[in-house]
Copies of this chain bind each other. A is one copy, B any other.
Amino acid sequence: MASIEMIVAARARLRGHIRRTPLLSSPFLNEIAGRRLFVKAECLQHSGSFKFRGGWSAVSGLDPAVRARGVIAFSSGNHAQGVALAAKLHGVPSVIIMPSDAPKLKIDNTRAFDAEVVLYDRANEDRDEIGARLSAERGLTLIKPFDEPLVIAGQGTTGLEISEQAEDEGVKSAEVLVPCGGGGLTSGIALALEASAPSFRVRPCEPENFDDTTRSLASGRIERNASISGSICDAILTPQPGTITFPILERLAGAGIVVTEEEVLRAMALAFARLKIVVEPGGAVALAAALFHGGALESDNVIAVTSGGNVDAHIFAKALERFG
């Protein structure tokens, strides 16, 4: 099980390898939010998202002999890049299984981290079967994107940084808003804050129509999304909360907050104008919640995690054209 001890251990393994991302702020954003707003700019992390933390934690946590045989992951997005970069920097091979219709840019970026990208046909091939075969043949270790204690522990290091940086800013209590897909980042931060800043409370944030965690927290049991495509927030679309992550969220998180696509694009444009950072749509849902759903918040201080910045130029330009 993921625990604060695992997060502290992950932090020691990550030291010197991950970037301590800054906690940003702007008086203009405070005014819109109607309270003090801080932004944990995890889009500035290596590989462009927090996923590098979990990737490094998982790869570095393997037994050296096991690690040397390599790792494998299923992902067309940020998890692929995080795992591939972590493997490359450990000098071990990585195999990333991606759908053949994944964006060329993401395939190229993953290959640029020396990963072997195995493409499969979504319609006619079973990715789990391909993964199982390759793992068995080569002794590769599967790195799951969120339902894996070592990954949750890596993401949780973000929470330790948040509590230290908030203390530097004189913040005694806060709601911490986190973009939530499978819940690896959200549950990791929740565990870290429980130990390091117990007066802070995590709030999962999701795009409309993909609010499985919000509904699951409300009903007390795991609820599924009707679909896992059809949102600009591609990085955080998962079928349902994880079986490891959900119990952590149920115990520690406040209610979820759901935002619209227009709010996400507005948040991206404001992050551009006021913080000078690039945030991808899925990475902007917590900032959108902080800016435009103040009625759902209780604290005088809110900390929003911007979890990734891997956005295509034309989508970013569209956000600027509409709301810049």
Contact = CB atoms under 8 A, between A and B. Distances in A.
Given A272-B316, A273-B313, A324-B314, A44 B24 contact: yes
A272 B313 contact: yes
A28 B112 contact: yes
Identical chains bound together, number:
2
Contacts of A28: 112
A44 B317 contact: no
Interface residues of A, number: 30
A317 B24 CA distance: 23
A179 to B, nearest CB: 15
Interface string A1-20: 00000000000000000011
A320 B312 CA distance: 9
Q: Specify which of A276, A309, A316 lies most central, judged by the most chain B CB atoms within 10 Å of its CB.
A: A276
Contacts of A24: 19, 44
A43 interface: yes
A275 interface: yes
7 contacts: A19-B22, A24-B44, A41-B44, A277-B278, A314-B321, A317-B317, A317-B321
